[in-house]
Structure 1
Amino acid sequence: MSINIVVVDDDPGFRRIAATLLTARGLRVVAESSDGASALAAVRDHRPDGLLLDLHLPDTDGLTVARRLNEQEDRPKIVLTSTDKSFWSPEELQHAGIESFVAKDKLFDADLKSLFTP
């Protein structure tokens, strides 16, 4: 069974790298989004198992997207990414429905498959 992922980041280069890493780890990228609105639409359309979600998006922030998804019954596992990891606590992430955080510069070394495994 494949694990379907949506990659959300406003940087197309990072989306490409993230998709390549996820695919190399045995995950399937079903969609990519560059902002919060299209991320919510992609989740609605594709019903992914997971969301690799950037914190800073042009129309909103990743915490807001996560909170909106957290209101849904069958929501994906959310892994937040950012270059900035200093301004929120693990409690804030958990409250927003975010399972884990991976700094963008640590994505290559992260065990991505286990982050999204149910």
Structure 2
Amino acid sequence: MAGAPSPGLAWRAGGRAGGRAGGRAGEVCAFPLAARPATAAPGSVQGMTIRCVIVDDSERFRAGARRLLTAQGIAVVADAANSQQALQAVDEQAPDVVLVDVGLGEESGFDLAARIDSSPVIMVSAFGAEEVADLLADSKAIGFLPKEHLSAAAIKCLLTQLRET
């Protein structure tokens, strides 16, 4: 699909949060996953720690993502396996960002994202962005990350882009 993001890129649907960023359509941040400036706090935006809720029906993914993001400086304040748990966690924790899996078992992560008004949502999936591009374009999510590229740097990039628009 023309304009689909390349692997290793955080992606925001065109028309969201101020439109398209530089580069190809929809691309926001190109970043080498292992490199970051020595002065940057990887889990913070403008000096504040990012508070995150992880929503995924896979316990294994939630545990792994929690370990990874915590090690990179993000405060994972809650995780949830379904929409009901997610909405309760978002209400109780007021996170800076919510990571939502595209597919939550029999539920749709996009339906959940539409119900979250108090925090920005980043969709995550084992699928590539090109496979869910139409759904992403119609969602209120601020961006998308393939699970294999999940990192504090990628989350920070998308949140920074949101705040700059």
Q: Shorter-chain TM-score: what band?
A: 0.7 to 0.9
Residue of structure 2 aligned with 1:51, choices 93, 98, 104: 98
Rg (Cα) greater in structure: 2
Residue of structure 2 aligned with 1:98, choices 108, 118, 141: 141
Cα distance, 1:104–1:110 mapped onto 2, change above 3 Å: farther
Q: Is the 8 A contact 1:6 1:43 kept in 2?
A: yes
* Greater fraction of residues in helix: 1
Cα distance, 1:24–1:94 mapped onto 2, change above 3 Å: farther
Q: How far did residue 110 of structure 1 move?
A: 5.7
Deviations 1:45-101 (A, max 9, x none): 1111101111111342110011111xx3xx2121111112344326x4254211111
TM-score, reference length from structure 1: 0.82
Q: Superposition RMSD on alpha carbons, in Å?
A: 2.1
Q: Determine the C-alpha separation between the residues in 1 that align with 2:136 and 2:124.
A: 12
Q: Is the 8 A contact 1:6 1:31 kept in 2?
A: yes
- Correspondence 1:89 to 2:133: yes
SS of 2:49's equivalent in the other structure is: coil
Residue of structure 2 aligned with 1:25, choices 46, 64, 72: 72
Q: How far did residue 26 of structure 1 move?
A: 1.5
Q: Determine the C-alpha separation between the residues in 2 that align with 1:83 and 1:110.
A: 19
> Which ranges of structure 2 fall in alignment gaps of 5 or more residues?
1-47
TM-score, reference length from structure 2: 0.60
User: Across the two proteins, how many residue pairs are aligned to each other?
Assistant: 113
Q: Is the 8 A contact 1:25 1:112 kept in 2?
A: no
